[in-house]
Structure 1
Amino acid sequence: MTTVKSDAGRVLVVGGFGAVGATVTAALEDWSPGRAVPAGRSRGVPVDVTDPGGLGRALDGLGDVAAVVLCVEPPDEGAARACVERGVHLVDVNATPRLLDGVAALHDRAVRTGATAVLSVGLAPGLTNLLAARAHEEVGGADRIDLTVLLGTGERHGADAVRWTVRSLAAPPGGARPARFALPGHGTRTAHPFPFSDQYTLRAGLGVPDVTTRLCLDSRALTAALFGARRAGLGRAARHARVRRVLTAALGAVHPGGDGFAVRADAWRGGRHAAHALTGSAQSRVTGLVAAHAVRTALSGALPPGVHHIEGLPALAGLPETLAGEGALALHRPEV
């Protein structure tokens, strides 16, 4: 049996020079100078997550890594397995359901090695999960949860995030329909079903049969154009690699709005209804701060071994208040 590495060890931030990873590295450096080790394909410690053994070799070479923050999307759960097998804690920022399921399957192995892996880390999934859990508890166990996410189109996201958005446009929207919700600071907006991973994991994690996440953008015109094009067949076209490349380049170059975001979680049980919301700016920075706090908490020994989505970890339940206290976001209680 592998034993967990000393929690006094270093933190390897894979993708540490991107928008999210740079925030993780800076936060850890502020809390504990010299502890964060940024890694990337061409800068810092060389790590290529598409190389099946790449992360494992890096961990063995460094020797004193207690935790890894994964800020880039690997092709499979191999990177997570490399951490778990070595008893190294993992905070995974990825949001692709297939990858999250693959990492979740490592739970028993992580328990044996004493490693903690935290999934659903960021804004959505992440803070959406925590708000949903609160609303769920307030109504005494929801039978329906609606999550609404508004993102700013002026923020420049990393390549993985843009590619994920294009892939998600290609996914069938399912049976859910658009809905209108009031979002603090942005008025009442029409949001459209979108395959954020939180809606899938929350169904199992909270035992709620009906969970839907919807998306809108700060630009009403771009929201209407994007989802109108999806209804007209853009989603089907985006299933072709060449079309995805064109769309990825186009979305990466268009920045008509600001960098503000808003998230709202509504839960229903019969006639009971509860809602929580938060607002802020710079989604990538907030995602990085969520990841930084998660790894800091894991290293403190406050999290149990195994693989857990963020809403299943009581020690992280107060993270929205922590971030609000740091000025990274604001919390709201919408009228219901």
Structure 2
Amino acid sequence: MQRVLIIGGCGRIGGSIAKDILAHTDAEVTITGRNPQLGTAALERLGSKVQFQLLDLTNQPEVETAVAKADLVIHSAGPFHYRDVGVLRACIDQGVGYTDVSDERSFTRKALALHAEAEAAGVTAVINTGVFPGISNSMVRQGVEALDKATSIQLSYIVAGSGGAGVTVMRTTFIGLQRPFEAWLNGIWQSVKPYSGRETLEFPAPYGKANVYWYDMPESITLQETFPVDNVITKFGVVPDFYNHATWAMANWLPPVVLRNRQTVEFLAHVSHSMTSVTDRFSGTGVAMRCDIKGQQGGQDAHYVSTFAHESAAIATGLGTGSIAELMLTGKLKCPGVHPVEQALPTDLFKATMDSRQLEIRETMSQVEVTA
């Protein structure tokens, strides 16, 4: 029987991944964590087919021992701003497949830097899986392939309340406000201030019109490296909208030295989580995504739009990563090296895994005739 090790599997994201793997494979699943009480609680939610193992990620020999017993390792212990690539390196050394839900630029760069080592070891490592990044990246690939030529990519995300993903996502949000980031615009890297450039877009029901802002995501770099386009734009927002105004205020009013303090991040994350625990009852905890790709099709300017929505951001993340895990365990996805999901996953396999999970990607294409 194949064995899957989910690093950080006691949280809501890790638990969602475990449930998807149990639903779509016969693999034996072990979740890890530092807290036995949280491990016991997670096992009560996940059932008798899952095991728990104490694991401290700062203890590399302990990590290597745990990895050696697995056929596939899934890293879901965020925030990835605070993580090194020790788990990935252990997988490469042990010849074990790897995937993760990483959502941070510097971690992505460190992981991609191990591509040659993973390729030489014959290890397939697929990073940035989940919902965004993850399903979103595959939506881009699907759209680029629908056009003769793509020139501009924009990914826009909204999350309702907490997204059902716990305080870790709140930490990630505030960490993302700390510094300007580089975006690929007009064919060059340009500095962008996080939570600027407010834009109102139409999302799938039940959200309708919602507001999004510039936000740093690893797709900014991987999509630019994968597809020859002039622009890669990543924007994010929250519903209800008053959370956007509060987040904008934090990004613009707090002195940078305060916002970069880890204790400040923890305070803001826990305050926000307490607030969303109230508003989640009214807003829900869903996620919606919109992929806009502009380019040419049949000699005409074209605008491709695809959308996706799910009632739970945490569950959707589990479905995205679980689908990659299923393909890796069944041998359908095998590409030695370290790859972002849009490079590793062909569109036909993406569609098949979405269909098997009753997930719908809605697509539209509009064309404007080019006049002389």
Q: CA deviation at 1:232?
A: 3.4
| Deviation for aligned residue 1:305 | 1.2
Letter in structure 1 aligned against 2:309: T
More displaced, 87-96 or 43-52? 43-52
What is residue 4 of structure 1 aligned with on the other side?
Answer: none
Q: Name the % identity.
A: 22
Q: Deviations over 1:128-175 (max 9, x none)?
A: 111112222223232211111010105332343222111002232644
> For residue 198 of structure 2, what is the aligned residue in structure 1?
178
Provide the residue aligned with 1:68 in structure 2: 73
Query: Contact conserved, 1:142 with 1:268, CA < 8 A, in 2?
Result: yes
The superposition leaves residues 162-197 of structure 1 with CA deviations (integer Å, 9 ceiling, x where unpaired) of: 221110022326447232221121222221001122
By how many angstroms is 1:209 displaced?
3.3
SS in 2 for 1:117: strand
Contact in 1 for aligned 2:13/2:165 (Cα 8 Å): no
Number of residue equivalences: 325
Q: Distance in 2 between matches of 1:214 and 1:116?
A: 30
Indicate the RMSD between aligned Cα atoms, in angstroms.
2.3
8 Å contact 1:155–1:282 — kept in the other structure?
A: yes
Per the TM alignment, residue 308 of structure 1 is displaced from its structure 2 partner at its CA by: 1.1
Provide TM-score, normalisation by structure 1. Answer: 0.88
In structure 2, what residue type is equivalent to 1:55? V
Match of 1:56 in 2: 64
Distance 1:314 1:32, change over 3 A: closer
> Aligned to 1:96, which of 94, 104, 115?
104
Q: Residues 166 and 248 of structure 1 are in contact (CA less than 8 Å); yes or no, is this contact kept in structure 2?
A: yes
Q: How does 1:200-239 map to 2 (within 5 A)?
A: 200-233=221-254, 237-239=258-260
SS at match of 1:307: strand
Q: TM-score, normalised by structure 2?
A: 0.80
- When structure 1 is superposed on structure 2, of 220-229 and 202-211 the one drifting more is 220-229
Q: Distance in 1 between matches of 2:294 and 2:255?
A: 33
- Output the amino acid matched with 1:70: H
Q: How far apart, CA to CA, are the structure 2 residues paired with 1:301 and 1:318?
A: 12
Of 29, 36, 39, which residue of structure 2 is paired with 1:36?
A: 29
Q: Secondary structure of 1:181's match? A: strand
For the structure 1 residues 177 and 155, does the alpha-carbon distance in structure 2 shift closer, same or farther, using more than 3 Å as the test? closer
Q: In the alignment, does 2:371 pair up with 1:333?
A: no
Task: Please give the alpha-carbon distance, in whole angstroms, between the structure 2 residues aligned to 1:147 and 1:17.
Answer: 29
State the distance in 2 between where 1:158 and 1:111 align. Answer: 35
Q: Distance in 1 between matches of 2:108 and 2:271?
A: 28
Give 1:69's aligned amino acid.
Answer: I
Q: Map 1:155-304 onto structure 2 (within 5 A).
A: 155-172=163-180, 174-175=191-192, 177-185=197-205, 186-233=207-254, 237-255=258-276, 256=279, 257-269=283-295, 271-302=301-332, 303-304=334-335
Distance 1:321 1:260, change over 3 A: farther
